[in-house]
């Protein structure tokens, strides 16, 4: 099955498949680079949205909580009897971010506050040189938020100063200390060390670090390598209150990994902070990996599909090839067969050609012999010297030869009519007795002269046959003529007739030379003579039996021969009974 041709086509096929798979992998690798940047961009966009949400929420919270203090400070009745104590309690509970709320009177002394345990009552700013913010709000009339610091109360927080005026007169300041713990608890988030939130202010001071890497109050810039431009760039943008994404490389015990950062500003009165949200590059890698896995699955399925389809196509082509080969073999066989039959036809044609030549020479001979006899006789007669007896003999010879030629021409005309189906049959009920009598009478002279006995045995009750009377006579004259012709002196020729169902069989038998079985099947062919030399002596040119057969069959009958060389021959003619 795996011949050389098939092996080559398999190699070509394998190369095509490999090229196909190779190009798919190439395109896949190329797509990966793009996929990576797209996924990273998408990831950072999402992260930035989250950061914006966190920063916005923190900003809202802080501003809203300080606004509560502003509302308290702007009460119509001015400083109430209880020095804001009841409002402080309410705001403290509602706001939930203050460590303490205090009221500092115009002299800079803490005069009230809530919760009481956190209030340093009587503490005076002037005596402790802590008047800057107090005087600032007094002079500007604006809320002021101090930079977050570790306070004397022992917490890390920012001071919110809200001035109180009564009829345009400065009456003191409300002070709310916001602890970072309290802010953060509002945004309780879980984090692992790689994904965390941090907050810096506009000077780079770390206000909150969820990863607990850096201490609060320290400056991020101090922790950052001056050559780490990526990280410095991010920090710079944060300090300038911008919003955006960035990434930087970070050393880890296992080497280095890159960190994705999104940042968004928080504006809280005069304070400008920035929330940063970090994720490790691995997060993107994980997503990309899952994308890769999907892509690889698709690619693998595609490759398998291509392999499957290609193998199917290959099998179809192989089968097609085989079918073609089989078809070609079949056609070749058919061609050989038709070639053989052509050769056979050619041989037959050559045979026919030989027969034709034989026929021509035979016909010429048959025509020439009587002509020669007639010419010689005529010349004798012309000389007018012969006596009357000789003259009569010569004239009889001429007449015999004319008859012989006329018979030959009649035979030729008959065979041509039979073959072209132009022979007319005048079918009628015919008495076999009468026909055979007539035929025997016709042959009588010849049999007598040859010394061959003629006998007829026909039952009187034999029914008539459906036939053309004259043609029937022609048939039996022919058969009897042959029988006598091929029977030696003292032999005999007999005609028998018998019923056989709807038919009547007439058997012309002789005790003549017989016919060899190898010739028996050919003797009904036209121009066929077993021994042309003897035939020629006996006259005839091989047309007699062909005409006989044509006439018998033209009358819906049949003819066959049974013979044994040296014993004799039996020609059996089967005819239809009349009136059936």
Residue 541 touches ligand ADP, criterion: CB under 6 A: yes
Among 40, 209, 414, 510, the residue binding ligand ADP under the rule CB under 6 A is 510
Among 66, 523, 573, 575, the residue binding ligand ADP under the rule CB under 6 A is 523
How many angstroms separate the CA atoms of 425 and 468, rounded? 6
Contact string 484-503 vs ligand ADP (x = CB under 6 A): --x-----------------
Among 507, 530, 572, 578, the residue binding ligand ADP under the rule CB under 6 A is 530
Among 163, 176, 204, 542, the residue binding ligand ADP under the rule CB under 6 A is 542
Which residue, 310 or 558, has its beta carbon nearer to ligand ADP? 558
Minimum distance between the CB of residue 345 and ligand ADP, rounded to whole angstroms?
25
Minimum distance between the CB of residue 403 and ligand ADP, rounded to whole angstroms?
15
Residue 543 touches ligand ADP, criterion: CB under 6 A: yes
Minimum distance between the CB of residue 395 and ligand ADP, rounded to whole angstroms?
27
The two beta strands, 197-201 and 169-179, are unpaired
Percent helix / strand / coil, the chain, rounded to 5: 55, 25, 25
- Do 418 and 553 touch, CB atoms closer than 8 A? no
Residue 278 touches ligand ADP, criterion: CB under 6 A: no
Residue 483 touches ligand ADP, criterion: CB under 6 A: yes
**Where in 172-231 is the site for ligand ADP (CB under 6 A)?**
none
How many angstroms separate the CA atoms of 180 and 156, rounded? 6
Residue 163 touches ligand ADP, criterion: CB under 6 A: no
Minimum distance between the CB of residue 473 and ligand ADP, rounded to whole angstroms?
16
Neighbours of 44 (CB within 10 A): 20
Residue 443 touches ligand ADP, criterion: CB under 6 A: no
Residue 482 touches ligand ADP, criterion: CB under 6 A: yes
Piece of the chain touching ligand ADP by CB under 6 A; list 121-129, 209-217, 241-249, 540-548: 540-548
Minimum distance between the CB of residue 362 and ligand ADP, rounded to whole angstroms?
9
Which residue, 176 or 491, has its beta carbon nearer to ligand ADP? 491
Number of residues that bind ligand ADP (CB under 6 A): 21
Take residue 512 and report the two structure tokens written for it.
């003549």
Long-range contacts of 547-550 (CB under 8 A, 24+ apart): 547/411, 547/414, 547/415, 547/418, 547/474, 547/478, 548/474, 548/475, 548/478, 548/479, 548/524, 549/524, 550/414, 550/415, 550/418, 550/419, 550/423
Minimum distance between the CB of residue 547 and ligand ADP, rounded to whole angstroms?
8
How many angstroms separate the CA atoms of 531 and 353, rounded? 19
Among 513, 552, 559, 575, the residue binding ligand ADP under the rule CB under 6 A is 513
Take residue 275 and report the two structure tokens written for it.
């929330």
Residue 540 touches ligand ADP, criterion: CB under 6 A: yes
Helices 281-383, 388-419: axis angle to 10 degrees equals: 160
How many angstroms separate the CA atoms of 524 and 563, rounded? 14
The total number of residues shown for the chain amounts to 580
Respond yes or no on whether the N-terminal peptide bond of residue 115 is cis (omega within 30° of 0). yes
Piece of the chain touching ligand ADP by CB under 6 A; list 22-30, 56-64, 448-456, 523-531: 523-531
Residue 573 touches ligand ADP, criterion: CB under 6 A: no
Residue 535 touches ligand ADP, criterion: CB under 6 A: yes
Question: 462 to each of 331, 440, 466, 500, 570, how far by Cα in Å?
Answer: 59, 18, 13, 11, 20
How many angstroms separate the CA atoms of 398 and 371, rounded? 9
What is the CA angle 80-81-83, rounded to 5? 65
Minimum distance between the CB of residue 360 and ligand ADP, rounded to whole angstroms?
15
Piece of the chain touching ligand ADP by CB under 6 A; list 198-206, 272-280, 427-435, 528-536: 528-536
**Residues in CB range of 244: below 8 A, 6 or more apart:** 48, 237, 262, 263
- Do 141 and 134 touch, CB atoms closer than 8 A? no
Minimum distance between the CB of residue 338 and ligand ADP, rounded to whole angstroms?
34
Among 113, 512, 554, 557, the residue binding ligand ADP under the rule CB under 6 A is 512
Minimum distance between the CB of residue 568 and ligand ADP, rounded to whole angstroms?
7
Residue 529 touches ligand ADP, criterion: CB under 6 A: yes
Where on the chain is the footprint of ligand ADP (CB under 6 A)? 482-483, 486, 510, 512-513, 515, 523, 528-531, 535, 540-546, 569
């Amino acid at each position: 099955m795996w011949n050389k041709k098939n092996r080559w086509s398999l190699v070509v096929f394998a190369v095509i498949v490999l090229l196909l798979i190779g190009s798919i992998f190439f395109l896949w690798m190329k797509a990966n680079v793009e996929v990576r940047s797209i996924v990273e961009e998408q990831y950072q966009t999402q992260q930035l949205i989250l950061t914006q949400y966190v920063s916005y929420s923190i900003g809202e919270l802080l501003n809203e909580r300080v606004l509560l203090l502003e509302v308290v400070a702007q009460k119509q009745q001015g400083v109430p009897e209880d020095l804001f104590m009841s409002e402080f309690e309410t705001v403290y509970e509602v706001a939930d971010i203050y460590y303490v709320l205090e009221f500092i009177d115009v002299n800079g002394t803490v005069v009230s506050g809530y919760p009481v345990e956190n209030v340093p009552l009587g503490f005076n700013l002037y005596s402790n040189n802590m008047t800057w913010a107090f005087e600032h709000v007094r002079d500007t009339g604006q809320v002021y938020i101090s930079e977050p610091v570790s306070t004397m109360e022992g917490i890390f927080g920012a001071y919110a100063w809200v001035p109180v005026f009564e009829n345009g007169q400065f009456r003191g300041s409300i002070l709310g200390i916001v602890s970072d713990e309290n802010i953060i608890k509002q945004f309780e988030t879980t984090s692992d060390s790689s994904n965390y939130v941090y907050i810096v202010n506009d000077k780079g001071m770390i206000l909150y670090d969820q990863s607990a890497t850096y201490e609060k109050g320290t400056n991020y810039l101090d922790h950052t390598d001056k050559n780490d431009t990526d990280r410095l760039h991010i920090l710079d943008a944060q300090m300038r209150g911008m919003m955006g994404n960035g990434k930087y490389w970070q050393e880890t015990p296992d080497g280095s990994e890159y960190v994705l950062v999104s940042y968004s500003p928080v504006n809280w009165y005069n304070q400008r902070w920035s929330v940063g949200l970090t994720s490790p590059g691995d997060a993107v890698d994980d997503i990309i990996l899952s994308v890769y896995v999907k892509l690889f699955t698709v690619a693998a399925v595609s490759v398998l599909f291509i392999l499957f389809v290609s193998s199917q196509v290959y099998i179809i082509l192989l089968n097609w090839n085989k079918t073609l080969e089989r078809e070609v073999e079949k056609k070749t066989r058919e061609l050989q067969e038709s070639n053989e039959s052509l050769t056979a036809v050619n041989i037959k044609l050559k045979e026919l050609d030989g027969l034709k030549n034989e026929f021509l020479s035979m016909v010429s001979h048959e025509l020439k012999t009587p002509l020669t006899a007639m010419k010689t006789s005529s010349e004798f007669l012309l000389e007018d010297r012969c006596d009357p007896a000789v003259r009569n003999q010569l004239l009889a010879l001429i007449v015999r030869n004319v008859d012989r030629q006329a018979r030959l021409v009649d035979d030729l005309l008959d065979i041509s009519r039979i073959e072209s189906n132009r022979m007319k049959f005048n079918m009628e009920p015919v008495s076999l007795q009468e026909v055979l009598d007539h035929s025997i009478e016709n042959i009588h002279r010849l049999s007598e002269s040859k010394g061959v006995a003629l006998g007829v045995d026909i039952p009187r009750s034999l029914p008539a046959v459906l036939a053309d009377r004259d043609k029937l006579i022609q048939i039996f004259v022919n058969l009897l003529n042959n029988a006598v012709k091929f029977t030696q002196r003292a032999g005999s020729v007999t005609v028998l007739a018998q019923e056989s169902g709807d038919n009547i069989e007439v058997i012309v038998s002789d005790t003549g030379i017989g016919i060899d079985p190898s010739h028996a099947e050919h003797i009904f062919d036209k121009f066929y003579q077993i021994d042309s030399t003897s035939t020629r002596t006996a006259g005839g040119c091989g047309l007699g039996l062909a005409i006989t057969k044509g006439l018998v069959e033209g009358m819906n009958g049949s003819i066959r021969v049974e013979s044994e060389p040296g014993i004799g021959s039996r020609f059996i003619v089967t005819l239809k009974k009349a009136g059936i």
